[in-house]
Amino acid sequence: MSGLEVAPHNNNFGACIRGVNLARPISPETVAEIRNLWLRYQVVYFPDQPLDHPQLERFTQYFGCFGDDPYVESVADHQHILEVRREPGESVAPFGGSWHSDWSFQRTPPSATILHAKIVPPRGGDTHYADGIRAYESLDPVLRDEIDTLTAIHSARRPYSHEGYQRSGGDRRSMTILPSDSAWQTQLHPLVRTHAESARMALWINPVYTIGIKDMPEQEADKLLQRLFAHALQDRFLYAHKWSEHMLTMWDNRSVQHCAQGGYDGYRRVMHRTTVAGEQPH
């Protein structure tokens, strides 16, 4: 027995895991158990886990190869760790402050995102998560049938093109964002995604990176997307995650959207982030 203590949240969306020290190597059996819990609850978190860079990298690699993280400068000498930082005097919205699934504009977006809390403000700074599986399952059956075969268009242009970077005040951030003309490229993914491991189906679109629907007029596509966004982001599908120093959280990017919250102006917030490589959605 691994000795893991698991406390699930409502609707089995989110779970707290204790009883393991992630700063030390963990057994294959414990890794397998954590993976199963992650697949079941989609968002899992481990309180009180002080980790240095190599320890965070080791934990990430238990679950696969590192993902490809473009457009943001990585930590020195650790190319797979991004520092999500906001300084007390920053006037722009928090990084990741709109609903999204990480890097959904890639051909093979990450399967997992891992975030480790370094400096947590005394108020605010929560992360909200949205359950794309329950959102899909609760759709009207007629609408479900209508969208099951649709293909969504994803792009990084809104936050990471040079124009999007300027509009979002990127040059006023303490983080180093790396805008590029490559952000104008598009990638097609199924609007309804079948999870590669659990085989559960999820509504897999997001307001930041999903910019249209293949073979559908722009206004019609936008109307449908806005309807689906509103459905997916209802309170009944959300989990508001509160951070504490040294907490590590891992979520399933194949079925979950997330959104960084503000509310901590005047305080510093620092997180270290890695991703696990995923597969092409189908």
Asked whether the predicted pLDDT for residue 125 surpasses 60, the reply is yes
Asked whether the predicted pLDDT for residue 247 surpasses 80, the reply is yes
Average model confidence (pLDDT) for the chain?
A: 97
> At 1, is the pLDDT very low, low, confident or very high (cuts 50, 70, 90)?
low
What CA–CA distance (Å, rounded) separates 259 from 235?
A: 13
Residues 6+ apart with CB under 8 A from 73: 82, 175, 176, 177, 178
CB 109, CB 250: distance < 8 Å:
no
Share of the chain above pLDDT 70, in %: 99
What CA–CA distance (Å, rounded) separates 91 from 87?
A: 9
Average pLDDT over residues 76-82: 97
CB 5, CB 17: distance < 8 Å:
yes
Asked whether the predicted pLDDT for residue 89 surpasses 80, the reply is yes
| Among the listed residues 91, 56, 96, 48, the one whose alpha carbon sits nearest the alpha carbon of residue 72 | 96
CB 89, CB 265: distance < 8 Å:
no
Query: Looking at residue 172, what is its pLDDT?
Result: 87
Query: Looking at residue 122, what is its pLDDT?
Result: 97
- Could you write out the DSSP letters of every residue in 28-74? HHHHHHHHHHHHHHSEEEESS----HHHHHHHHHTTSSBPP--SBPE
30 versus 2: which is more confidently predicted? Answer: 30
Query: Looking at residue 54, what is its pLDDT?
Result: 98
Q: Can you point out the beta strands (E) in the chain?
A: 5-8, 15-18, 43-46, 74-75, 78-86, 112-119, 127-131, 151-155, 186-190, 192-194, 201-203, 210-213, 238-241, 248-252, 256-260, 269-276
CB 116, CB 51: distance < 8 Å:
yes
Average pLDDT over residues 76-86: 97
Write down all domains in the chain, each with its CATH number in brackets.
5-276 (3.60.130.10)
How many other C-beta atoms can be found within 10 angstroms of the C-beta atom of residue 8?
A: 15
Query: Looking at residue 91, what is its pLDDT?
Result: 87
Average pLDDT over residues 157-185: 93
Paired with 242 in beta bridges are: none
Quick: pLDDT tens for 187-233.
999 999 999 999 999 999 999 999 999 999 999 999 999 999 999 99
